[in-house]
Amino acid sequence: MRRFSLLLLLFVVTVAHAQPDASHSRMEAMEAEVDSVLSAWNGADRPGIAVAYFEGGETVFKKAYGLANMEHGIAWRTDTVSDLGSVSKQFIGFALALLAEEGALSLDDDIRTHLPDLPDLGATITIDDLIYHRSGLREIYATLGMINWRSGDGIFQEHAQTLVQHQAELQFEPGSRYLYNNTEYMLMADIIEVVTGKEFHDWMRERIFEPLGMDDTTIMVRQGQVIPGAATSYGRDRAGHWNQIYDNSTIQGAGGIYSTVEDVGKWMRNFTTHEVGTAATIEALTTTGYLTDGEPIDYARGIVVTEVGGQIVWVHNGASAGYRAQMFYLPEHDRGYAMVMNTPSMFNPHGALTRAFFADVIVEEERSGSSGTRAEQPQPAPLDDPAAFVGTWLSDELQTFYEIREEGDGLVLAHRWLGSNDMTWKGDDAFRVGFGGEVRFERDAAGRPSKFTWDNGRTIGVSFRRYE
């Protein structure tokens, strides 16, 4: 019996020493793999990146590479602050789920109950329609891009309601279609202000960020706001020069949260600890939506719930100015990582980091190449009356003019400030335009083009009439 006890003691001691060694070796191997993936950032003459990996609510690996500020040679750190872009959307989805759980609102509420200045566009739009990107409202970036907004120009929080107040008609019946939309999430921030009686950024800080210990997390509410510890964002031009890309927008709800990979880890910890909210709040956050015809979508309340390599994943990417971010979490394993960087001009490491952190559980799917040949698209009959489309065209909704004129062998769609873009004939009175998307004409009783509608990605059906 004494010999058995000694053997058992020896076994326990051996395992106790072996487990830390095994864990240490695993972390060393993980760090070596991440170093390899992110080697392009590892220099003192380029923008940078930070990454942190979490297991069981604890940060087990974190590291930063490159520069947070190139002008002053300030290195990235894992507590460097960066814009999360659309990773922010899950925070407001959680906030609304929390308020619904507390009885302050219902996710089935008509949004005009809380924002009565919005117009009646002929159908009820609920808060959940906003959350699930199925409202039929105009998308603010694509729509303002038709007016005179270019990447780098500012967008302000109040622009969301102004855009909707002047929308002529819904893009589609609410609930009938999924179309990713930042306007919707900006309106959600406005709803929270109405319901709580507090400014959105203050309520979020008091109810979510501070209780979770996210002390380096803030929401930008003023153009040019000084945010302590924040990285500067950069892009590389065609000549290879690095230039600053300014974050001029003050949008809330859809983006605007500045945080660190360490703070995002504290947010992921709450998925299981429920320091803020309950298990029901997290379930509401991660419940995916569906359309009125019953078709499911993989977008939940501000976060994508999907399957990667046989594993359920909660994930969202973010982009704002030159900032890029990702949060990636495996709920069945309570493991995840956060990544932030301050340039879009280097390769996207998301897939490689996912393999580095989760190769033991995520099975890579085999990629099979297509052996078939692409069928040739039928060519439309030649455009025989280009002069019929020439003229000045006005959108009453956007208060914006465009000209169509003949240049060279074809037509161009021209704007005083945005320049001229080729119109490529597709047949059936439709053209593909260089600005993006497609314009399709309607003709009057005399057969003359009198109106066109412009579909530009997430904004569809904007009407322009001939202006005499």
In the prediction, which pLDDT does 14 show? Answer: 37
Question: Quick one: tokens of 396?
Answer: 């009453």
Q: What is the pLDDT of residues 72-117, one digit of tens each?
A: 999 999 999 999 999 999 999 999 999 999 999 999 999 999 999 9
Q: Please give the pLDDT value at position 249.
A: 86
Beta bridge partner(s), residue 400: 395
Residue 284 has pLDDT above 80, yes or no: yes
Is there a common fold for 82-358 and 386-466?
no
pLDDT (average), residues 184-198: 98
Decide yes or no: CATH 3.40.710.10 for domain 82-358: yes
* 243 has a pLDDT exceeding 70: yes
What is the assigned CATH class of domain 386-466? mainly beta
Q: Is the pLDDT of residue 5 over 90?
A: no
Q: How far apart are CA 99 and CA 65, in angstroms?
A: 39
Average pLDDT of span 395-400:
95
Q: What is the pLDDT of residue 324?
A: 97
Q: Can you tell me the mean pLDDT for 427-444?
A: 93
Q: Give the residue extent of every domain in the chain.
A: 82-358, 386-466
Q: What is the pLDDT of residue 20?
A: 61
Q: Which of 313-317, 353-357, 379-383, 417-421 has the lowest mean pLDDT?
A: 379-383
pLDDT digits over 63-78, tens only?
999 999 999 999 999 9
pTM for the model stands at 0.90
Helix (H, G, I), strand (E, B) or coil at 314: strand
pLDDT in tens, 289-343: 999 999 999 999 999 999 999 999 999 999 999 999 999 999 999 999 999 999 9
